[in-house]
Amino acid sequence: MPLRVGVLGVAHVHTASYVECLKQEPEVEVVGLYDYDATRGAEAEAKFGIVSLPLDALLDAGLDAVVVCAENTQHRRLVEAAAGRVRAILCEKPIATTLADAQAMLDVCQRTGTRLQMCFPVRFATAMAALKDLLAKGRLGTIHVARATNRGQMPGGWFTDPELTGGGAVMDHTVHVVDLLRWLWPGVEVAEVYAEVGHSLLHPGLGIDDAGLLSLRLSNGVVATLDTSWSRPPSYPLGADVTLELTGENGWVEVDGFGQRLLYAPRQGKSEWVGYGINTDAALIHDFVDMVRTGREPSITGQDGLKALEVALAAYESARSGEPVLLLR
């Protein structure tokens, strides 16, 4: 029997990639999609060739799992609706816009026995896996400093509406790197956050934060910086980058999460980066499908999503107060 999957919300830019990756998985049927915006749902139906249904009708269609690709503030509502009616949920990042909403999502999934996995595909990048192995073997010795970036283009649309996002560039781009840091060093948490956040700094009149520079102190003593800015121009061939540079007692390493690319820059129009390495979205979807089929625990848990959100919210608090925010004492 094929695995029956539904898509809840189609607002996120990754929706098309996740749908295509699901279609490429053997013995997986994408049964239908739902979006509260009927026009957007109809457009997605035509684009993907997947029927658009009301929420209850889709959840009553005998689904094994759902993928939540709605706006950030819709995540809790959709996870609560699906919990107990499907076996597993894959949710876009950030998990929510408040810690209370995130915890409610974890609670309902635990109460109903529904497995909740987060969309942090950068974990599956070949270079990041190699870095994790390097650290596990202690090749760099004690790490002193980390410098990270998750810079991107200004995405526009609902991403710039605080009522739907809970924040701008800092909310959008903090969570990926925080998840990587926690994954690279199991058991390590962000202990302190200091942030400078700019509103309409790079895009005048935007009305939301479009620049952020975070300083993080980790519980293992590593001091890290993170640039979350929407600073890449429209001509930039990728929506965002993810880079990480570590300096340790035995050496230095630099990782580009999306580095396996061929760059083509025409004389006119937009440059193009053609990937020849692993498709991290496909790897994420494959991992999720395997989790649903085997019944194992998620590799990227809802708790991982909550801890990443906690740092993003602390960054906003620090920027408002001008003081560091302690997460661990």
- Give the residue from 118, 142, 171 where a domain finishes: 118
Task: Kindly state the DSSP code that residue 74 receives in the 8-state scheme.
Answer: G
Assess whether 147 and 271 both reside in one domain: yes
Quick check: 169 and 209 in contact, CB under 8 A? yes
- In the chain, the percentage of residues whose pLDDT exceeds 70 is 96
Across the chain, what does the average pLDDT equal?
94
Average pLDDT of the residues in 318-324? 98
274 — pLDDT class (breaks 50, 70, 90): low
276 — pLDDT class (breaks 50, 70, 90): low
The CA–CA distances, whole Å, from 264 to 17, 82, 101, 210, 219 equal: 21, 43, 43, 27, 42
| Helical segments of 233-321, H only | 280-294, 302-321
Per-residue tokens: 52: 């658009």
The pLDDT value given to residue 173: 97
The pLDDT value given to residue 258: 84
260 — pLDDT class (breaks 50, 70, 90): confident
Residue 326, beta-bridge partner list: 192
Q: Exposed (0-12), middle (13-18) or buried (19+): which is 142, by Cβ within 10 Å?
A: exposed
pLDDT tens-digit series, residues 162-189:
999 999 999 999 999 999 999 999 999 9
Assess whether 62 and 188 both reside in one domain: no
pLDDT tops 80 at residue 270: no
- Give the residue from 101, 118, 135 where a domain finishes: 118
pLDDT tens-digit series, residues 64-106:
999 999 999 999 999 999 999 999 999 999 999 999 999 999 9
Per-residue tokens: 234: 């429209």
Average pLDDT of the residues in 99-123? 98
Average pLDDT of the residues in 114-118? 98
Q: What residues contact 320, with CB distance under 8 A and at least 6 apart?
A: none
Quick check: 15 and 70 in contact, CB under 8 A? no
Q: How many domains does the chain have?
A: 2
The pLDDT value given to residue 172: 96
Assess whether 47 and 138 both reside in one domain: no
Does residue 294 fall inside a structural domain?
no
pTM of the shown model = 0.94
> Phi/psi class of residue 291: alpha, beta or left (left: φ > 0; alpha: ψ in -120 to 50)?
alpha
Q: How far is the C-alpha of 32 from the C-alpha of 10, rounded, in Å?
A: 11
Average pLDDT of the residues in 27-47? 98
- Collapsing DSSP states into helix, strand and coil, what is residue 34? strand
Assess whether 180 and 272 both reside in one domain: yes
Domain of 23?
Answer: 3-118
Quick check: 96 and 309 in contact, CB under 8 A? yes
Look up the CATH number of the domain holding residue 85: 3.40.50.720
Assess whether 208 and 230 both reside in one domain: yes
Q: What residues contact 72, with CB distance under 8 A and at least 6 apart?
A: 92, 94, 96, 97, 164, 165, 166, 171
Which of 130-144, 203-217, 224-238 has maximum average pLDDT? 203-217
Q: How far is the C-alpha of 316 from the C-alpha of 154, rounded, in Å?
A: 19
Assess whether 109 and 138 both reside in one domain: no
Assess whether 9 and 108 both reside in one domain: yes
Assess whether 138 and 151 both reside in one domain: yes
Per-residue tokens: 329: 């004492």
Does residue 31 fall inside a structural domain?
yes
For every residue of 201-232, DSSP letters joined together read: SSSTT--SEEEEEEEEEETTS-EEEEE----B
What would you report as the CA-atom Rg of the chain, rounded to the nearest whole angstrom?
A: 20
Average pLDDT of the residues in 33-46? 97
232 — pLDDT class (breaks 50, 70, 90): very high
The pLDDT value given to residue 238: 78
The pLDDT value given to residue 264: 64
Q: How far is the C-alpha of 103 from the C-alpha of 133, rounded, in Å?
A: 31
262 — pLDDT class (breaks 50, 70, 90): low
- Of residues 160 and 235, more confidence is placed in 160
Does residue 202 fall inside a structural domain?
yes
261 — pLDDT class (breaks 50, 70, 90): low
Assess whether 164 and 48 both reside in one domain: no
Average pLDDT of the residues in 305-325? 98
Quick check: 159 and 206 in contact, CB under 8 A? no
- Give the residue from 118, 137, 165 where a domain finishes: 118
The CA–CA distances, whole Å, from 257 to 221, 266, 329 equal: 24, 24, 32
Assess whether 82 and 203 both reside in one domain: no
Does residue 287 fall inside a structural domain?
no
Look up the CATH number of the domain holding residue 138: 3.30.360.10
The pLDDT value given to residue 59: 98
278 — pLDDT class (breaks 50, 70, 90): confident
